[in-house]
Structure 1
């Protein structure tokens, strides 16, 4: 699968050196913190109290974040600060970053002593935006806000950034009978604009690591060859099945596969690699 002009900066420690992961996003990444102020420790790497709700085929069945921590930690001491909230778009992301992260963990308190060279900031957002946005200008405006927030994280010391683009939602059960080129183009335009803005973010901050992991490519690969992943062709658009938990949310099995992809992707950039495009 494609590496979208990823750039590895001087603060990247390799995946095994990532001791802290800070996650922003929507229901695909949310783990249901009851108070939205995660405080993980070595016994509770996803936070305490433990996650209470996953948007999968069972509220106790992990999404990609849970699977990553359970099976694919690069660093055995990895702690996850997860601010993702189901239903959030970029406007709501501002609250995640400016009201929850920056005034608390962002200040590197004694109980969360993250550093520029051991922390990865992950943002997976846009599905809910694309449900409402229909023009290129609206997409660009949303992403300008998104990258304004990334800049604020940078100014607090963030240097390693992973962006996940949005999957091909027109292949979800929600879009059965409504998969025209206009609808699909919104999602493709979001991803295209994301790549452009990641490049611009790098040009303004040359010491950052910027990586784009394509869920769009990953989902399409599974949909193209479902039998290789234990699915049937008929499962691809079926809600309440092995692929989709409902009309738009993937099952824990899909999240498990995606967590494996995240692990593979991050491990493909050891210390010393500067860039990769395929």
Structure 2
């Protein structure tokens, strides 16, 4: 009798609210908790990790959060992912860039089936509440993440 081991992909996308609701000087503490959760998943047998960085929320219409805070979060995520991968050589750790995707959608809304809001101040149908993506945008994120994953080399 043979045993088949299936490794599922563990996807984590957090940080938008962390960046919006706390100061950047507290991001290190948040990131420590973030990677403690990844360690727990690894300890439970998880080996395949897809981490998603945060989008440029400072570009969302009506937001007053500087993009540098989101850039700081994303840099801490990259550094943490590198440390996590080094500490856990059996893990596959990848980062999908919501940052790049959201910039592209906002720069090219027609390419993704969105239109400009009246007055050209934003992207129509892109966000539910000025911060969280619509279902349509989530479908785009899923499609682009799938393309990203297909482009990764197997171990």
TM range (shorter): 0.7 to 0.9
Q: Larger helix proportion, structure 1 or 2?
A: 2
Q: Provide the residue aligned with 2:145 in structure 1.
A: 262
Deviations 1:221-254 (A, max 9, x none): 1111222222234377558x42122221222221
Length, aligned pairs only = 151
Q: Does 1:243 align with 2:126?
A: yes
Match of 2:10 among 100, 103, 121: 121
2:91 aligned residue (194, 208, 215): 208
Rounded to whole Å, the distance in 1 between the matches of 2:87 and 2:16 is 26
Deviation sequence 1:109-143 (CA, Å, 0-9, x none): xxxxx95x42111100011111122233x111110
Contact persistence 2:24–2:72 (CA under 8 A): no
* 1:164 alignment counterpart: 52
CA-atom RMSD, angstroms? Answer: 2.1
Q: Distance in 2 between matches of 1:201 and 1:223?
A: 32
Q: TM-score when scaled to structure 2?
A: 0.87
Unaligned runs of 5+ in 2: none
Q: Tell me, what secondary structure is at the counterpart of 2:67?
A: helix
Q: 263-272 or 119-128, which moves further after superposition?
A: 263-272
1:187-198 alignment to 2 at 5 Å? 187-198=70-81
Partners in 2 of 1:118 and 1:201 — Cα distance?
18
Match of 1:149 in 2: 37
Stretches of structure 1 lacking an aligned partner (at least 5 in a row): 1-113, 273-278
Q: In structure 1, how many angstroms separate the alpha carbons of the residues matched to 2:121 and 2:11? A: 28
Aligned mates of 1:174, 1:160 — CA distance in 2: 37
Task: State TM-score, norm by structure 1.
Answer: 0.50
